[in-house]
Amino acid sequence: MRVTKHEHAALTIRDSGNTLIIDPGSFTSPLDDLGDLVGIVITHEHADHWTPDHLDRLRKYAPDVPIYGPEGVVQAAAGYEITVVHPGDTLALDPFALTFFGGTHAVIHESIPVVDNVGVLVNGDFYYPGDSYAVPKGVDVKLLAAPVGAPWLKIGDAMDFVLAVKPRQAFAAHDMTLSVIGRNMGRARLRWATEQNGGEFFDLEPDESIDI
């Protein structure tokens, strides 16, 4: 299974010629080289995690591809057929097995409504929390995509999240709101947190991959 980081929060996971896409949003360039696209997961409704342009382009490539997200995505993406997923749900998209965690977006500010958010575990190995610090309890995470920069994110909280997950490998995601200096500072902190439990941290740039 190969996990590829794209700009900001977008990820592609490939296995046996099949592709799963997570969070193709407004800070992400059009995705290509998709192989057999079997599913799209949108962790929550914010535009940096999905756009109509991305969905239209992907559905043109794979017209029947199923799209999954929490209730808030269904409301925000009216006109698209979205299958609702909740924390604790599991589903099979051969060759991918998905399990969902969390339920709510991290708090940005008391004046801003908290929206639905799901983290997703792929094949029991790769975990991405969306915009949250939801820990997949009881899971031995082989690879973690850890958010590193956001209006809701304090780097100490992000470090504590990585310490709690204890991944064997990790890389930073959700990073297009940062300067190069800020991104590198954040990566260094997440590297430290990953290494505290014997894990290995990777400085992935857009379109770079890790094999699990």
Every domain of the chain and the residues it spans: 2-202
pTM comes to 0.97
| Cα 104–chain centre separation | 14
C-alpha distances out from residue 118 to 104, 136, 176, Å: 7, 11, 21
Class of the 2-202 domain?
A: alpha beta
Q: What is the pLDDT of residues 42-95, one digit of tens each?
A: 999 999 999 999 999 999 999 999 999 999 999 999 999 999 999 999 999 999
b or e along 127-136 (b: 16 or more beta carbons within 10 Å of the residue's beta carbon)? bbbbbbbbbb
Phi, psi of 167 (to 5 degrees): -70, 155
User: What is the tens place of the pLDDT at every residue in 103-118?
Assistant: 999 999 999 999 999 9
- The residue count of the chain comes to 212
Q: What percent of the chain is predicted at pLDDT more than 70?
A: 100
33 pLDDT exceeds 90? Answer: no
Q: What percent of the chain has pLDDT over 90?
A: 99
